[in-house]
């Protein structure tokens, strides 16, 4: 089931968002620079700053847009970051739901293929990572795990733009 991000990063079932060209311009501008002034976005799009503010508020309220500072955990003193592949017996939903509640889990997805669930963990050190992988293995339904310890972060970008296109002209909701 596709899901939408909530304020805390967890997701809810997706609904097809209706974005017009103004919404798309806001999302794409903030993906490039989360501190882009509304005045500058408004000027580029050809609408008022008040329109941008109102649209921004709606995009946030509807969990389409989340503006946050993206960091490199390895540079902030988190000494162990890993992607953990999990195989489950039966539906992976309960396992994904449980792990999604953990503060250390920054990314949890149900997948097709070799693993049923992928989880990105950010840990203070390797001992902490070992404790978390033990917690994962102890969850009901978990058959096995495979951990991929990050040695160095080469790219982390969230500027993929929008794929939702509409025929609405700029300024029309």
pLDDT digit string, tens, across residues 91-136: 999 999 999 999 999 999 999 999 999 999 999 999 999 999 999 9
79 and 126, same domain (yes or no):
yes
Q: Which two tokens stand for residue 163?
A: 């794929």
Q: Is the pLDDT of residue 74 over 70?
A: yes
* pLDDT-derived band at 15, boundaries 50, 70, 90: low
Q: Residue 144 corresponds to which tokens in the numbers above?
A: 């096995």
55 and 86 fall within a common domain? no
Is 100 a member of any domain? yes
User: Is there a domain that residue 66 lies in?
Assistant: no
pLDDT at 64 over 90: no
Q: For residues 113 and 57, state if they share a domain.
A: no
Domain count, the chain: 2
Q: How far is residue 92's CA from residue 90's CA, in Å, rounded to a whole number? A: 6
- CATH number reported for the structural domain that contains residue 122 in this entry: 3.30.70.920
Please choose, from the candidates 116, 156, 132, 108, the residue with its C-alpha nearest in 3D space to the C-alpha of residue 6: 108
Alpha carbons within 13 angstroms on the beta-carbon side of residue 132 total 28
Q: Which domain holds residue 143?
A: 73-149
Query: pLDDT tens across 28-39, in order?
Result: 999 889 999 999
pLDDT at 157 over 50: yes
Quick check: 71 and 122 in contact, CB under 8 A?
Answer: no
Does one domain contain both 77 and 55? no
């Amino acid at each position: 089931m596709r899901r939408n991000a909530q304020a805390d990063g967890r997701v809810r079932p997706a609904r097809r968002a209706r974005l017009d060209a103004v919404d798309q311009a806001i999302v794409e501008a903030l993906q490039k620079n989360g501190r882009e002034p509304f005045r500058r976005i408004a000027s580029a799009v050809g609408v008022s700053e008040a329109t941008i503010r109102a649209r921004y508020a709606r995009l946030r309220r509807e969990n389409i847009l989340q503006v946050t500072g993206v960091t490199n955990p390895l540079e902030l003193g988190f000494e162990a970051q890993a992607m953990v592949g999990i195989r489950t017996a039966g539906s992976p939903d309960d396992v994904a739901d449980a792990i999604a509640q953990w503060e250390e889990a920054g990314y949890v997805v149900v997948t097709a293929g070799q693993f049923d669930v992928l989880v990105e963990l950010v840990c203070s050190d390797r001992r902490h990572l070992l404790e978390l992988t033990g917690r994962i293995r102890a969850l009901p339904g978990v058959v096995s795990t495979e951990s991929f310890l990050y040695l160095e972060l080469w790219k982390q970008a969230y500027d993929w733009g929008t794929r939702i296109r509409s025929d609405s002209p700029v300024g029309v909701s």
